[in-house]
């Protein structure tokens, strides 16, 4: 009898980081299920780096990316490529994570092909369908067709329930990003900037809605912080997008205490987070990962689909206003009381067992027994 076949579909670096622990967990049960890792290639180089940190590489690569593609072209190429793969492999189920174009395409293909779909990190929401763009639409669309929803927190689960999703299909797992960061955080890695005896502030900014003027304001605020605090080294991993690189280089590229670096792979990025005193970021994953190490995060967005961290006090929304970013950063860098209040807040995002919970639910859905893990609360 043939084993059930499961496709885990990824396209970007964050997806690779959050899906890798699930793939590794499922492959522990390779005697009862075949787990195939599929890459659309939406972020080719950064995706390969992230998978490599977990010793993984794609079993199938759709290789969709071409220079200068529009969002519509990325979507159509991924849709056609994945459809052909589903036709050939005939999976029993498809898993995808989060809110990317790859996730949307995986969900839509699953629906068209009448193949069960499981949505990892389901239920994250903002108030408007185009903020963030296009991620809010992507995750809502994925939720419409999912047979299994894996919200990371109770708040995310409640969003799904409010939308009328069947509670029998909702399983609160914790966030697989915590599985990834805890698995990676204990590994020995090279020390970042051992010659610098002061503090490090880490800045990551890549979201489409922050391109242009918002990123200019972010960069100017970060520059002010470096100028005010003489012990600060600002480290900026630069996104591959040429517009982002040119803008950041023009504003902060010539300062002696600002390091513009290539995006480190995940195994290198985790030690960089741990080495940092403060993180300024518009990344969703960083909002979840940094609190696991007690690092405060100033979120460079006006809204977040991860309000649990803001509520718990591990993160603070500051938007892209230059003065507000500077003021909030200055407060944390100059007041030990303010800093400790955020650094010592308890992370609400998980305990490192989300992948095992997903494995149990998926195998049970496919009629396969495996060890049960209590759901995250």
Nearest to 116 by CA among 84, 137, 90, 140: 90
Do 156 and 247 sit in the same domain of this protein? Answer: no
The one catalytic residue among 77, 139, 217, 239:
239
308 counts as catalytic: no
The pLDDT, as a whole number, for residue 290 is: 93
139 counts as catalytic: no
Given a cut of 80, is residue 99 above it in pLDDT?
Answer: yes
The boundaries of the domain holding residue 102 are 5-175+350-365
| Rounded distance between C-alpha atoms, residue 117 and residue 111, angstroms | 8
Given a cut of 70, is residue 188 above it in pLDDT?
Answer: no
Q: Which residue has the higher pLDDT, 244 or 73?
A: 73
Look at residue 65 and tell me if it is in a domain.
Answer: yes
43 counts as catalytic: no
- Contact present, 347 and 309 (Cβ < 8 Å): yes
Q: What percent of the chain has pLDDT over 70?
A: 98
| Rounded distance between C-alpha atoms, residue 82 and residue 44, angstroms | 16
> Partners of 6 in the beta sheet?
35, 93
| Rounded distance between C-alpha atoms, residue 113 and residue 122, angstroms | 21
The pLDDT, as a whole number, for residue 191 is: 81
The mean pLDDT value for 118-143 works out to 94
The one catalytic residue among 208, 220, 257, 324:
208
**Average pLDDT in the chain:** 93
Q: Tell me the CA distances in angstroms from 119 to 61, 106, 124, 225, 343, one per residue in order.
A: 20, 10, 11, 40, 31
| Rounded distance between C-alpha atoms, residue 14 and residue 49, angstroms | 11
| Rounded distance between C-alpha atoms, residue 349 and residue 364, angstroms | 24
99 counts as catalytic: yes
The pLDDT, as a whole number, for residue 1 is: 65
Please state the domain count of the chain.
2
Look at residue 370 and tell me if it is in a domain.
Answer: no
pLDDT for 264-306, tens place per residue?
Answer: 888 888 999 999 999 999 988 899 999 989 999 999 999 888 8
Given a cut of 70, is residue 189 above it in pLDDT?
Answer: no
- Contact present, 303 and 131 (Cβ < 8 Å): yes
pLDDT for 310-331, tens place per residue?
Answer: 999 999 999 999 999 999 999 9
Q: Which residue has the tokens 């993180």?
A: 279
Do 163 and 210 sit in the same domain of this protein? Answer: no
Do 273 and 158 sit in the same domain of this protein? Answer: no
Do 32 and 110 sit in the same domain of this protein? Answer: yes
Q: Which residue has the higher pLDDT, 377 or 306?
A: 306
The one catalytic residue among 99, 179, 282, 322:
99
Sheet of strand 315-317: strand arrangement: 258-261, 232-237, 199-204, 278-281, 297-299, 315-317
The pLDDT, as a whole number, for residue 187 is: 60
Look at residue 189 and tell me if it is in a domain.
Answer: no
Do 315 and 212 sit in the same domain of this protein? Answer: yes
The pLDDT, as a whole number, for residue 377 is: 80
Look at residue 137 and tell me if it is in a domain.
Answer: yes
| Rounded distance between C-alpha atoms, residue 135 and residue 97, angstroms | 12
Look at residue 286 and tell me if it is in a domain.
Answer: yes
pLDDT band of 119, cuts 50, 70, 90: very high
Do 294 and 356 sit in the same domain of this protein? Answer: no
Look at residue 139 and tell me if it is in a domain.
Answer: yes
The one catalytic residue among 15, 25, 135, 282:
135
Look at residue 150 and tell me if it is in a domain.
Answer: yes
pLDDT band of 67, cuts 50, 70, 90: confident
Q: What is the pTM of this model?
A: 0.84
- Cβ-based neighbour number of residue 263 at 10 Å: 19
The pLDDT, as a whole number, for residue 211 is: 82
Do 10 and 97 sit in the same domain of this protein? Answer: yes
CATH number at residue 35: 3.40.50.2000
pLDDT for 209-264, tens place per residue?
Answer: 888 899 999 999 999 999 999 999 999 999 878 888 889 899 998 899 999 999 88
The mean pLDDT value for 168-182 works out to 95
Do 134 and 225 sit in the same domain of this protein? Answer: no
Q: Which residue has the higher pLDDT, 182 or 80?
A: 80
- Contact present, 58 and 42 (Cβ < 8 Å): no
Do 295 and 357 sit in the same domain of this protein? Answer: no
The pLDDT, as a whole number, for residue 284 is: 84
328 counts as catalytic: no
Q: Among 88-97, 181-190, 264-273, which is the least confidently predicted range?
A: 181-190
pLDDT for 29-43, tens place per residue?
Answer: 999 999 999 999 887
| Rounded distance between C-alpha atoms, residue 318 and residue 324, angstroms | 6
333 HSE (CA, 13 A, CB side)? 29
The one catalytic residue among 15, 121, 136, 322:
121
pLDDT band of 47, cuts 50, 70, 90: confident
Q: Which residue has the tokens 């220079």?
A: 67
Do 126 and 19 sit in the same domain of this protein? Answer: yes
Nearest to 123 by CA among 158, 95, 88: 158
Given a cut of 60, is residue 19 above it in pLDDT?
Answer: yes
- Contact present, 200 and 192 (Cβ < 8 Å): yes
Look at residue 185 and tell me if it is in a domain.
Answer: no
Do 65 and 21 sit in the same domain of this protein? Answer: yes
135 counts as catalytic: yes
For every residue of the chain, which 3-state class applies, written as one string?
A: CCCCEEEEEECCHHHHHHHHHHHHHHHCCCCCCEEEEEECCCCHHHHHHHHHCCCCCCCEECCCCCCCCCHHHHHHHHHHHHHHHHHHHCCCEEEEECCCHHHHHHHHHHHHCCCCEEEECCCCCCCCCCCCCCHHHHHHHHHHHCCEEECCCHHHHHHHHHCCCCHHHECCCCCHHHHHHHHHHCCCCCCCCCCCCCEEEEEECCCHHHCCHHHHHHHHHHHHHHHHCCCEEEEEECCCCHHHHHHHHHHHCCCCCEEEECCCCHHHHHHHHHHCCEEEECCHHHHHHHHHHCCCEEECCCCCCCHHHHHHCCEEECCCCHHHHHHHHHHHHHCHHHHHHHHCCCCCCCCCCHHHHHHHHHHHHCCCCCCCCCCCC
The one catalytic residue among 13, 206, 217, 306:
206
Do 26 and 170 sit in the same domain of this protein? Answer: yes
Given a cut of 70, is residue 110 above it in pLDDT?
Answer: yes
């Amino acid at each position: 009898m043939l084993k059930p076949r499961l496709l885990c579909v990824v396209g970007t670096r964050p997806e690779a980081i959050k899906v890798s622990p699930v793939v590794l967990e499922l492959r522990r049960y390779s005697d009862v299920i075949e787990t195939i890792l599929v890459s659309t290639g939406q972020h080719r180089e950064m995706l390969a780096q992230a998978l490599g940190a977990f010793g993984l590489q794609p079993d199938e690569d759709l290789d969709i990316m071409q220079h200068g593609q529009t969002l519509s072209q990325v979507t159509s190429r991924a849709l056609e490529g994945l459809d052909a793969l589903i036709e050939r492999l005939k999976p029993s189920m498809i898993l995808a994570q989060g809110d990317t174009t790859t996730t949307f395409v995986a969900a839509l293909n699953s629906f068209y092909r009448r193949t069960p779909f499981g949505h990892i990190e389901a239920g994250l929401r903002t108030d408007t369908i185009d903020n963030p763009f296009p991620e809010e639409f992507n995750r809502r669309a994925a939720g419409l067709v999912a047979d299994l929803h894996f919200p990371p927190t109770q708040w995310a689960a409640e969003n799904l329930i409010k939308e009328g999703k069947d509670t029998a299909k909702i399983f609160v797992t914790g966030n697989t990003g915590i599985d990834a960061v805890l698995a990676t955080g204990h590994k020995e890695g090279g020390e970042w900037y051992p010659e610098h005896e002061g503090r490090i502030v880490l800045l990551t900014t890549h979201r489409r809605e922050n391109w242009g003027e918002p990123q200019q304001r972010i960069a100017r605020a970060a520059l002010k912080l470096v100028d005010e605090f003489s012990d600060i080294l600002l480290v900026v991993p630069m996104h591959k997008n040429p517009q982002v690189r040119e803008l950041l280089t023009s504003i902060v590229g010539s300062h002696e205490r600002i390091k513009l670096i290539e995006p480190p792979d995940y195994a290198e990025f985790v030690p960089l987070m741990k080495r940092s005193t403060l993180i300024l970021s518009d990344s969703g994953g960083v909002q979840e990962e940094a609190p696991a190490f007690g690092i405060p995060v100033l979120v460079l967005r006006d809204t977040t689909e991860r309000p649990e961290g803001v509520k718990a006090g591990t993160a603070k929304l500051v938007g892209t206003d230059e003065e507000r970013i500077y003021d909030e950063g200055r407060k944390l860098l100059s007041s030990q009381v303010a800093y400790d209040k955020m650094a010592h807040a308890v992370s609400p995002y998980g305990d490192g067992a989300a992948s095992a919970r997903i494995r149990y639910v998926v195998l049970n859905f496919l009629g396969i027994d495996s060890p049960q893990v209590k759901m995250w609360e």
